[in-house]
């Protein structure tokens, strides 16, 4: 993907739930198909993408209109599979948008059993989310407009609510333009019910990612907000060429912030390793 305009791609991407009813072009499908073969993630957990023809498999979503094609993905059930999924699927989403193809992350509003059957999901695999692929219609459906308003889809939390230095009480003020840009792309990221669970605490030259878990359901087989964390990491790592390192930074955390991971920004001339 052309990294030079990645910030624009991230900032102009949004969920599209109303499509123009046309199939995506053969050329675009081939480009997307080639690109997804190159996608990897810092967890080295394989994420397998599958195109699904909506009519052939009888697939639809109650929130999507005018689509003919979906893309789904599967991961092996393993520790960090949600974050790996989030990271890789977001790469696909951003590449699709660079071609003008609209997507919507769908983890809930779909007949899950039908999609899982269509991807021939095995017992040791999870299909966390799917997305329609299509060209956005000129006008959003009434349902889409209502949905966006209900979840305040165009709003994001402020920097001072999300990014901190040394502890969770001191907001982060960075004069480093590259880091500031990367943090902004984290802020713009999509998340389930637009809950934006990511919190980042900078210590030295390390950016420690935390999940502020608000959707509950941790007894379920998987945590959708960890998928969101993978998306945030995708943006941050792409913008900083940082490296992921999993360890506990021992920062005192408010009750609901779960220690998640550390992200060293190693490969940058502008950052020296702490
Ligand atoms: C992991 C994940 C799961 C999501 N699941 C759904 C879903 O089931 N249905 C839906 O309409 N939108 C879903 N969304 C889209 C979010 O509602 C959307 O990203 C958020 O409101 C921000 O809006 P935007 O994508 O237009 O920026 C999901 C997003 C993510 C990241």
> For ligand 1, atom 19, which residue shows the shortest CA distance?
190
Q: How far, in Å, is the centroid of ligand 1 from the Cα of 195?
A: 9
The reply to whether 226 falls in a domain is yes
The answer, yes or no, to whether any atom of ligand 1 lies below 6 A from the CB of 190, is yes
My answer on whether 139 and 164 are in the same domain is no
> For ligand 1, atom 29, which residue shows the shortest CA distance?
192
Of the candidates 265, 249, 239, 246, the one whose C-alpha atom is nearest the C-alpha of residue 4 is: 239
What number does the ligand 1 atom closest to the CA of 188 have?
Answer: 27
- Of 127, 192, 196, 211, the one to substitute when testing ligand 1's pocket (max ligand atoms within 8 A of C-beta) is 192
Q: What is the mean pLDDT of residues 115-129?
A: 98
My answer on whether 138 and 214 are in the same domain is no
| β-pairing verdict for 130-133 and 125-126 | unpaired
My answer on whether 28 and 130 are in the same domain is yes
My answer on whether 183 and 102 are in the same domain is no
CATH number at residue 242: 3.40.109.10
Q: Cβ(5)–Cβ(182) under 8 Å?
A: no
Is the model more confident about 41 or about 268? 41
My answer on whether 64 and 174 are in the same domain is no
Q: Would you state the pLDDT for residue 205?
A: 84
The answer, yes or no, to whether any atom of ligand 1 lies below 6 A from the CB of 183, is no
pLDDT (tens digit, 9 = 90+) per residue, 51-67?
A: 999 999 999 999 999 99
My answer on whether 76 and 109 are in the same domain is yes
Angle at 118 (CA atoms; ends 113, 120), nearest 5 degrees: 90
pLDDT (tens digit, 9 = 90+) per residue, 74-83?
A: 999 999 999 9
- Structural domain count of the chain: 2
The two tokens of residue 8 are 């624009």
Burial 21-51 (b: 16+ CB within 10 A, else e): eeebeeebbebbeebbeebebbbebebebbe
Q: Would you state the pLDDT for residue 129?
A: 98
Q: Would you state the pLDDT for residue 219?
A: 57
Q: What is the mean pLDDT of residues 118-135?
A: 98
Q: What is the mean pLDDT of residues 254-268?
A: 66
| Distance of alpha carbon 129 from alpha carbon 204, whole angstroms | 35
The answer, yes or no, to whether any atom of ligand 1 lies below 6 A from the CB of 15, is yes
My answer on whether 140 and 224 are in the same domain is no
- Of 190, 213, 222, 230, the one to substitute when testing ligand 1's pocket (max ligand atoms within 8 A of C-beta) is 190
Is the pLDDT assigned to residue 187 strictly greater than 60?
yes
Q: Would you state the pLDDT for residue 123?
A: 96
Is the model more confident about 118 or about 217? 118
My answer on whether 251 and 141 are in the same domain is no
Q: Would you state the pLDDT for residue 274?
A: 29
Of the candidates 79, 109, 111, 96, the one whose C-alpha atom is nearest the C-alpha of residue 39 is: 96
Q: What is the mean pLDDT of residues 166-181?
A: 93
Residue that is last in its domain, among 113, 145, 177: 145
Phi, psi (degrees; rounded to nearest 5) at 76:
-70, 140
Q: Under 8 Å CB-to-CB from 161, ≥6 apart: which residues?
A: none
Q: Would you state the pLDDT for residue 2?
A: 60
My answer on whether 180 and 62 are in the same domain is no
Beta bridge partners of 70: 52, 132
Domain with 18, as residue range(s), is 3-145
My answer on whether 16 and 109 are in the same domain is yes
């Amino acid at each position: 993907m052309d990294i030079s305009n990645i910030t624009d791609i991230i900032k102009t991407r949004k969920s599209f739930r109303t499509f123009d009813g046309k199939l995506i072009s053969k050329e675009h499908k081939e480009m997307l198909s080639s690109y997804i073969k190159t996608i990897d993630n810092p967890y080295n957990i394989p994420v397998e993408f599958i195109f699904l023809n909506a009519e052939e498999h009888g697939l639809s979503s109650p929130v999507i209109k005018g689509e003919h094609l979906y893309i789904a993905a599967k991961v092996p059930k393993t520790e960090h599979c949600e974050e790996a999924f989030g990271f890789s699927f977001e790469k696909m989403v951003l590449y699709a948008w660079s071609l003008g193809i609209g997507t919507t992350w769908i983890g809930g509003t779909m007949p899950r059993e039908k999609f899982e059957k269509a991807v021939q999901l095995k017992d040791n695999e999870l299909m966390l989310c799917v997305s329609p692929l299509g060209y956005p219609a000129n006008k959003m459906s009434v349902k889409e407009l209502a949905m966006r308003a209900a979840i305040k889809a165009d709003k994001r939390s402020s920097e001072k609510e999300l990014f901190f230095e040394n502890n969770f009480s001191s907001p982060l003020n960075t004069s480093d333009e590259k880091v500031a840009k990367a943090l902004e792309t984290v802020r713009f990221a999509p998340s389930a019910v637009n809950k934006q669970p990511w919190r980042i605490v900078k210590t030295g030259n390390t950016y420690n990612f935390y999940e502020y878990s608000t959707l509950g359901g941790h007894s379920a087989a998987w945590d959708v907000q960890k998928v969101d964390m993978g998306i945030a990491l995708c943006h941050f790592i792409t913008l900083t060429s940082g490296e992921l390192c999993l360890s506990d930074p021992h920062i005192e955390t408010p009750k609901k912030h779960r220690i998640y991971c550390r992200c060293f920004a190693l490969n940058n001339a502008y950052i020296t390793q702490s």
